[in-house]
Structure 1
Amino acid sequence: MRKINIGIILISIVVVGMLIPVAFSGQSDSVVITYGETTHANSEYKSIVDNFFKTQANVDLSNVNSKIITADEVNKISSGITGKTYSSSQIFSSALVDLNDNDNLEVSVDKSMITTITGNMYISALKSAGITSGHVYVTSPVTATGESALAGIMNSYEVATDVEIPEPVKEAANNEIYTQAEIVENSNVSADQLSSLVDDVKETVKEENITDHQTIVNIIYNYTVVNNINITNNDIENLADSIEQIQNIQGDINAYETQINDVLNSTDVNSAKGFLDGLFK
Structure 2
Amino acid sequence: MRKITIGMVILSIILIGMVIPAGFSGQANSVVITYGETTHANTNYKSDVDSFFKSQSNLDLSNAAEKIITASDVNKIASTITGRTYDSSEIFSSALVNLKENADLKVSVDKDKITTITGDMYLSALKSAGIKSGHVYVTSPVTATGESALAGIMNCYEEATNVKIPETVKEAANKEIYTQAEVVEDSNASSDQVSKLVDDVKETVKKENVTDHQTIVNIIYNYTVNNNINITNSSIENLANSIEQIQNTQGDINTYENQVSEVLNNTSSNSNNFLGGIFG
Cα displacement (A) at 1:260: 4.4
In the TM superposition, 1:176-191 aligns within 5 A as 176-191=176-191
1:85 is displaced (CA, Å) by 4.2
Aligned to 2:115: 115
Q: What number of residue pairs does the alignment pair up?
A: 251
Cα separation, partners in 2 of 1:163 and 1:70, compared to 1, 3 Å:
farther
- State, as a whole percentage, how many aligned pairs show the same letter: 75
1:165 paired residue number: 165
Which range moved further: 168-177 or 58-67? Answer: 58-67
Question: 1:82 & 1:261 partners in 2: Cα distance?
Answer: 34
What is the CA distance between 1:271 and its match in structure 2? Answer: 9.6
Aligned partner of 1:91 in structure 2 is: 91
- Asked which structure has the greater RCO (Cα within 8 Å, sep 6+), the reply is 2
Say if 1:113 and 1:144, in contact at 8 Å, map to a contact too.
Answer: yes
How does the TM-score come out when normalised to structure 1?
0.79
- What letter matches 1:25 in structure 2? Q
Q: Please give the alpha-carbon distance, in whole angstroms, between the structure 2 residues aligned to 1:261 and 1:32.
A: 24
Q: Distance in 2 between matches of 1:162 and 1:173?
A: 20
Q: Give distance in 1, aligned partners of 2:199 and 2:34.
A: 27
Change (3 A) 1:79 1:22: closer
CA contact (8 A) 1:34 1:153 kept: no
- Structure 1 residues 62 and 244 mapped into 2: Cα distance closer, same or farther (>3 Å)? same
In 1, the alpha carbon distance for the partners of 2:233 and 2:54 equals 44
CA deviation string 1:184-241 (max 9, x = no partner): 1121101111100000111111112222211111111111111111100110111111
Q: Give the helix-richer structure, 1 or 2.
A: 1
Counterpart of 2:174 in structure 1: which amino acid?
N
List alignment gaps of at least 5 residues for structure 2.
1-22, 274-280
Moved more, 175-184 or 261-270: 261-270
Q: Distance in 1 between matches of 2:171 and 2:49?
A: 26
1:37–1:69 contact (8 Å) kept in structure 2: yes
Which stretch has the larger CA shift, 127-136 or 57-66? Answer: 57-66
Paired amino acid for 2:46: K
Structure 1 pair 264–71 and aligned structure 2 pair: CA distance change class (3 A): farther
Matched-pair contact (CA < 8 Å) for 1:94–1:152: no
Residue 16 of structure 1: aligned partner: none
Q: Is the 8 A contact 1:93 1:149 kept in 2?
A: no
Q: Which amino acid aligns with 2:203?
A: E
1-side partners of 2:178 and 2:46: how far apart? Answer: 25
SS of the residue corresponding to residue 174 of structure 1 reads helix
1:193 to 1:103, Cα distance in 2 relative to 1, 3 A? same
Q: Which residue is 2:25 aligned to?
A: 23
Q: Aligned partners of 1:73 and 1:238: how far apart in 2? A: 28
Change in Cα spacing, 1:35 to 1:258, as seen in structure 2 (3 Å) is farther
Quote the Cα distance in structure 2 between the aligned partners of 1:58 and 1:129.
Answer: 28
Partner of 1:233: 233
User: Partner residue of 2:43?
Assistant: 43
Contact 1:77–1:171 (8 Å) recurs in 2: no
CA RMSD of aligned residues (A): 2.6
TM-score, normalization by structure 2: 0.80
Q: What secondary structure, in the 3-state scheme, does the structure 2 residue paired with 1:229 have?
A: coil
- SS of 1:153's partner is helix
Closer/same/farther in 2, CA of residues 265 and 64 from structure 1, 3 Å limit: farther
Shift in Å, 1:151: 2.7
8 Å CA contact 1:98–1:134 kept in 2: the answer is: yes
